[in-house]
Structure 1
């Protein structure tokens, strides 16, 4: 931290303006957190125990489930604490750590969703080459690359922001240490700092998004050329879950990050942040489970093995 920094802790306002619904908010977010962890743990267990799911698509889904557990664990426990506690402070280091891990999991998810789109592209557009291209070693390398990219992006952003001086207000009008609300507390002119952050965010968010878009242009083109209606339906069904997850995650992430600080609305964007930080992690396992016959079949088999033992 720079010598000019005089703020050693922040106050996270969260949803303190809706004190009438404190217990209701606590109950809702607690239920969402428990459901998110349980659903994603269930997917991890199912994929590990069922040999039929030991294929690239489900290997990447396994990584995504790990991400979602980490993603929500960074924000919701502190949010739950702040809803009930009178002391809503968070130390400078804890705030930096929260921002780092949130960006780490978020940036990794951006890359992983692009890798999953590439997997679907190879499976549908080049099915004969699929076993050769998407070998186990290649899948591990692609997943590892996503995690490394997420780590580097988060480290760069967090180090860059927390080396700036904080010497004015220490009140963060958000429920976690998000980039834009924290950047508002920085002293002096942050125009170029803001531009650099937007450029970096555009690189992390838009580049994977463009790769996903390009993949699906080829996928849809290939599907439309298929003669069999059954083949088209099967191809669409394998992509629909991923498309739903991408739309939900990228829709709010692009809205939040790819724009200047001058257009930032604290209360409105705090609401939108709930979608990609709280809602998306619970929707992803539901989307992939309800729309996937293989996962539903594996879940039934696993439950049927466990219940008799109970």
Structure 2
């Protein structure tokens, strides 16, 4: 299982309509584990839910983790609990930061185009701070319904101004407001540009369509499931290290069946967006339904997210 760290909520601020920012520090006042731009933190909430949130502060900071949480109108308990129940000095357990949305810092990347929608601005702030530290060229495109809904606009603008970069803002529900044109944005990106997008599902789908011509240079982070979980069942599951052979019935995930057999596997989101349950495939063909593995990685069939993915073959052997 993942090692958990006890974190104290040092400060809570309301930073936009339905958005709160949380500063988390070690309860022992010790240095926190390092993290990279694009990383997220998984919090174990007192209501027995685990939720992952992008880190927004500068990589290299070891005295705090900073996250922001949007109160979703369709919250299943995570964001609502964060907004309505947590107070300063409360203590939460958290995982070590994990990064499924890393910056490509190689020399062949000449420019970065950061695209954010709503609370998707959080990983982009961390990326912008990292790129400033590296002296790299970037631009930010940030969309929200209105200015009141947009958190960290001034911080984003200051980060851009600090190193001669650019930040553009789109508030499409304000008078005269224009939506972001992702197709035009992707088409105008200079050569050797990498594009990063985090935001609501509709934006991510549009971004992937707009960048279909440069898939290897386009990167996304999903907050919600990208597709329905594979729950058709009807296949045999072999756990190589445990020596177990199990049947996966209709309506049950591989993760459910593994848990029922008494095998402990790290898990959190159950939607294929956090990467906690990634498991090595030893034989058989997976039916991939996650939002993390690239098309090439899914075709390689070396690992899978067992919370949401199933099997295309009658037999699937996992390294568990």
Q: Same fold (TM over 0.5)?
A: no
TM-score for the superposition, normalised by structure 2: 0.25
TM-score for the superposition, normalised by structure 1: 0.26
> Larger relative CO (CA 8 A, sep 6+): 1 or 2?
1
